[in-house]
Amino acid sequence: MEWRENQGLEWLEAKLPGTTVAFTTRTGGVSEGPFSTLNLGILTDDDADAVKSNRQRVADALGIDGTRVAMGRQVHGSDIAFHAEGPVEPHFFNPGRPPQDVDGHLTDAPGLPLFVLVADCLPVAMSGPGGIAMLHCGWRGLAGSIVEDAAKRIAATHAAVGPGIGPCCFEVGEEVFAAFDGLGDGLRQGNNLDLWKVARRKLDNAGVETVDVAEVCTFCDSRRFFSHRRDHGRTGRQAGIAWLG
């Protein structure tokens, strides 16, 4: 992965076969206060016009077609939507309730960006002969089958895991550790869970051959990233975006 910058925006970019993946930061937008500055989440207390402007800035900087962006209302689940073409209603530029409650997206259509919002959860992108995937992976999604299902549906060979809360900061209860008992040792550091390692092992077990994990903690890096846990819920959202071509 490499840091990239354009038009005042900064993002971490990964290249998968035939696929570009961008993990945005909080820099380069117009939002203020706890949402400063590039908040992309409309379901926050931020001004809706500011969020729309921020989304336009992202589309312009990345050179993607915002009218084709596929997204959903994330519910920390394991459901995945397949998109054969652009959405009928462009929710990216007209924020409202997206048509589906899903945490993962697949497509085999070139130039159709897949979009998830994060603020400590992991954005996970995959590519394979069957297309690409973009997933919103909190611990509940990872404990479910979202990674395995997406990898199987596109026969994923490569993956990139973007910034998310690290083992330095992700303190959890025993029920969360128990959800990952089958993944082997080394996931626990005192009362903290290594979610980066969880994602890597899930991808490895799903047969993904090449896995690149950013290992950048959103909780620690307040300059670059929003963090739901660090900011006690009053914060913005960055994004994971992937597209073919």
Tens of pLDDT, residue by residue over 81-137, are 999 987 767 778 877 665 689 999 999 999 999 999 999 999 999 999 999 999 999
Task: Output the domain CATH number for residue 160.
Answer: 3.60.140.10
Residue 146 backbone phi and psi in degrees, to 5: -65, -40
Flag whether pLDDT at 224 surpasses 90. yes
- Counting the structural domains of the chain, the total is 1
Answer for the pair 51, 197: CB distance below 8 angstroms, yes or no. Answer: no
In terms of Cβ atoms closer than 10 Å to its own Cβ (0-12, 13-18, 19+), residue 31 is buried
Tens of pLDDT, residue by residue over 188-214, are 999 999 999 999 999 999 999 999 999
Does this model's pTM top 0.85? yes
Tens of pLDDT, residue by residue over 4-48, are 999 999 999 999 999 999 999 999 999 999 999 999 999 999 999
Answer for the pair 134, 240: CB distance below 8 angstroms, yes or no. Answer: yes
- Sign for the CA dihedral angle at 153, 156, 162, 167 comes to positive
Answer for the pair 49, 32: CB distance below 8 angstroms, yes or no. Answer: no
What is the pLDDT confidence band of residue 62, given thresholds at 50, 70 and 90?
Answer: very high
Look up the domain containing 19 and give its range: 2-244
